[in-house]
Chain A
């Protein structure tokens, strides 16, 4: 069975410091993995996507994520947080063949000045 676990419901960082949002997944098949961001009262926007081409995936706004099969993890990182990064972040898994999409519970990122 598939599942997605975002290990932190809230993360707080200071502006200019690194961001780490953790995601573990469980899938019996080769997964496709995504990170989406949701700003308050907005829809979801794709940050990045992994589909087995390269384990280190670069996304928009300086974010990147590394797929580690041995650890079943897909953590999202950014070297330096910006105030505009404050939002909710969702880790998402879909099966190859794509018949079901599962969202993690979300991690709310707070960025302090």
Chain B
């Protein structure tokens, strides 16, 4: 158990809908990262937050957004969902910077029908 929690574990929704994925980092970790893992794209870095502020952006679509709240939990919002958004979404946390070890949550499996 990494200490990172993600909810929900599974999510099934329809095209065009909007969903929110939630992540609670390990106690004391200030950085949160979001990743998308799909069969065709592999593991892709989406975005990083540090202490409430956006730190780095990867291959995140404009339909996707994230935020980190004062209590350091983070949410990833996915809107206008398409079939291709079906994937496993991981959250990770680290103490501070990207060179620190990242601890991964168990993931949220999103299925878009």
Using a CB–CB distance below 8 Å, which chain A residues touch chain B?
A: 32, 34, 36, 42-46, 49, 51, 90, 94-103, 105-106
Count residues on chain B whose CB falls below 8 Å from chain A CBs: 25
Asked whether, in the complex, the Cβ of A94 is within 8 Å of the Cβ of B99, the reply is yes
> Are A43 and B98 also in contact (CB < 8 A) when A102-B45, A103-B43, A105-B42 are?
no
List, in ascending order, chain A residues with CB within 8 A of B33's CB. 101
Q: How many A-B residue pairs have CB under 8 A?
A: 60
Known: A97-B98, A99-B48. 15 other contacts (CB 8 A): A34-B101, A34-B102, A43-B4, A46-B101, A90-B43, A94-B98, A94-B99, A97-B99, A98-B97, A98-B99, A99-B55, A100-B56, A103-B44, A103-B45, A105-B42
Asked whether, in the complex, the Cβ of B104 is within 8 Å of the Cβ of A43, the reply is yes
> Are A43 and B107 also in contact (CB < 8 A) when A96-B99, A100-B58 are?
yes
Alpha-carbon gap, A101 to B91, bound state (A): 13
Using a CB–CB distance below 8 Å, which chain B residues touch chain A?
A: 2, 4, 33, 35, 42-45, 48, 55-56, 58, 90, 92, 97-107
Asked whether, in the complex, the Cβ of B104 is within 8 Å of the Cβ of A101, the reply is no
Asked whether, in the complex, the Cβ of A43 is within 8 Å of the Cβ of B56, the reply is no
Alpha-carbon gap, A7 to B4, bound state (A): 31
Alpha-carbon gap, A90 to B102, bound state (A): 13
Asked whether, in the complex, the Cβ of B98 is within 8 Å of the Cβ of A99, the reply is yes
